[in-house]
Amino acid sequence: MTPHVATLSLSHFRSHRRARLALDGRPVALFGPNGAGKTNLMEAVSLLSPGRGLRRASAEEIIRRPEAIGWKITAEVAGPGFGHEVELTAEPGQARVTRIDGKSATQTALARLLRIVWLVPAQDRLWIEGADGRRRFLDRITLSFLPDHAEAALAYEKAMRDRNRLLRDQVNDARWYAALERQMAEAAASITANRRAAVARIVAAQEGAATAFPAADLWLETDALDGAEAYAAAFADSRVRDMAAGRALVGPHRADLLATYVDKAAPAAQCSTGEQKALLISLVLANARALKQDTGAAPLVLLDEVAAHLDAARRAALFDEICALDAQAWMTGTGPDLFAELGTRAQHVAVTEGRGESRIVLQGTAP
d(CA 295, CA 159): 32
Domain membership flag for residue 31: yes
- DSSP codes joined into one string, 271-319: S-HHHHHHHHHHHHHHHHHHHHHHHSSPPEEEETT-GGGS-HHHHHHHH
Task: Quickly state the pLDDT bin for 366 (edges 50, 70, 90).
Answer: low
pLDDT band at residue 289 using 50, 70 and 90 as cut-offs: very high
Residue 130 lies in a domain: no
CA distance 118 to 364: 26
Structural domain contains residue 35:
yes
CA-to-CA distance for 296 and 319, rounded, in angstroms? 20
- Residue 183 located in a structural domain: no
pLDDT score of 310: 85
Say how far apart CA 126 and CA 137 lie, in whole Å.
9
Q: Is residue 367 part of a domain?
A: yes
Residue type, 198: A
Tens digit of pLDDT for each residue in 239-257? Answer: 999 999 999 999 999 999 9
Q: What is the mean pLDDT of residues 316-323?
A: 94
Q: 65 pLDDT band (50/70/90 cuts)?
A: confident
Q: How does pLDDT run across 146-198, given as a tens digit for each residue?
A: 999 999 999 999 999 999 999 999 999 999 999 999 999 999 999 999 999 99
Kindly state the DSSP code that residue 193 receives in the 8-state scheme.
H
At residue 202, the pLDDT reads 96
- What lies within 8 Å, CB to CB, of 65 at 6+ separation is none
User: Quick check: is 256 in a domain?
Assistant: no
Q: What is the CA radius of gyration of the chain?
A: 22
For residue 216, being part of any structural domain is answered with: no
Rounded-to-integer distance, Cα 118 and Cα 139, Å? 12
Task: Name the band, by pLDDT with cuts 50, 70 and 90, for residue 307.
Answer: confident
**How many other CB atoms are there within 10 angstroms of residue 240's CB atom?**
8
Say if residue 364's pLDDT is above 80.
no
What is the rounded CA–CA span in Å between residue 222 and residue 254? 7
Count of structural domains, the chain: 1
| Type of residue numbered 219 | W
- Domain containing 314 equals 1-114+299-367
Q: What is the pLDDT of residues 16-49, one digit of tens each?
A: 999 999 999 999 999 999 999 999 999 999 999 9
Q: Confidence class of residue 80 from pLDDT cuts 50, 70 and 90?
A: confident
Residue 13's domain is classified under what CATH number? Answer: 3.40.50.300
Q: How far is CA 189 from its chain centroid?
A: 22
Residue 270, in any domain of the structure: no
Q: What pLDDT, on a 0 to 100 scale, did the predictor assign at position 66?
A: 78
